[in-house]
Amino acid sequence: MPATTIDPTKTRVLKELKHVRPLIGCRFDPSGRYLFASAEDDTIQRFDLLTGGKTALIGHQSWVRGLASVPVKNTPVVSHDNVPTSAIFRGVAAVHKPTVFTLLSGDYHGKLLWWNGADATPKPIKTVEAHDGWIRAVAVSPDGTMVATCGNDQLVKLWNTADGRPIRTFEGHTSHVYNVAFHPNGQRIVSADLKGNIRDWEITTGKLVRELDAKILHKYDTGFGADIGGIRGIAFNSAGTQLACIGITNVSNAFAGVGNPLVVLFDWNDGKPKQLKPKDAFQGTGWGVGIHESGIIIGAGGGGQGRIWFWNPADGTNTHTVNVPTNARDMAIHPDGAALALAGANGTSYLYTTTPTPAVSPSPAPAKKP
């Protein structure tokens, strides 16, 4: 299937999905119909991009940062007949009717919850005491059979998606583990921590294969006696040849979070890093990163305001920057590649399209009277 054509210079807001509290994380469901956004009121808000509906998922008793979903195999597509999917939003490919899927969410108290994400009013169907302290991230394996979690207890854990059974624990980090991601081949998993250490693990054996260095995304501030940094966002490209990490560098004040966003892009084969910097002197933190099917690297973050950055895959230049009204605390690329969503600190999730404005067919001339 060819990659969706995008033009960063045409980036524009399609929808503003509002909530009453600041948002922390966001992810689309596998079909792209729903956007899930976690909030500081301990809820997860499900925004229906087809109908405009909003549903609160209530079950956590602390903030949720980690979100992931996986289709349930051998189940029929949920029917929503007589609703034109082409009317979801203009300029973006039609969002497909949702499949039945499982949503997984991890919270500050270390609980991992399972939900039937397409239910009219989703309720938790399983809870696992996964970590001692905050679950920082949740990821699902390419085949959907495993879910990985990581957290403040310095551990990375692997679980059976179907029943929540523990499979393996990866030990070795010496600081909070901020992020985790499966390699697209399903055989390796990477975990990344507060100090910019990235560990590449073999899934079947639990063996540590190598370590990658993103320590530029960390600083110990001697004045405040505090660490600041961490891999705030992580993503592979679909081919598994690149790994992107985003965070903060050049920190001059840990207390105020004064520094500059930075993406570290690794060549997966040789492990060599490349730094991708915003061309403007923006102060803040990078919170979300993705590699589009076209190869364009997309990052998002913020300080007092928010930003979206686009980098050319060939030379790593920041080709375009979009101003966002608020600090972007997470980013997700739509499954069809034609849109992206941000979790806003002002309680709004902004849905952007990066596709060229569609041509408008001229209205037919009125028929002449005989």
Encoding tokens for residue 153? Answer: 């207890």
Q: How many CB atoms lie within 10 A of CB 335?
A: 16
Res 262 pLDDT > 50: yes
Return the pLDDT at 81.
39
Return the pLDDT at 228.
94
Averaged pLDDT for residues 97-120: 93
Looking at the chain, the whole-number percentage of residues with pLDDT higher than 70 is 89
Q: Which carries the bigger pLDDT value, residue 181 or residue 95? A: 181
Return the pLDDT at 78.
44
**Of 79-83, 283-287, 340-344, which gets the smallest average pLDDT?**
79-83
Q: Which carries the bigger pLDDT value, residue 94 or residue 117? A: 117
Asked if residues 184 and 203 have their Cβ atoms less than 8 Å apart, the reply is no
Of 353, 355, 354, 351, which Cα lies nearest the Cα of 341?
A: 351
Q: DSSP state, 75? A: -
Distances (CA, A) of 224 to 219, 248, 254, 255, 273: 11, 17, 7, 7, 30
What 3-state class would DSSP assign to 127?
A: strand
Q: What is the pTM of this model?
A: 0.91
Q: In the chain, what are the domains?
A: 8-353 (2.130.10.10)
Res 84 pLDDT > 70: no
| Residues 222-255 pLDDT 10s | 888 889 999 999 999 999 999 999 999 999 888 8
Return the pLDDT at 223.
86
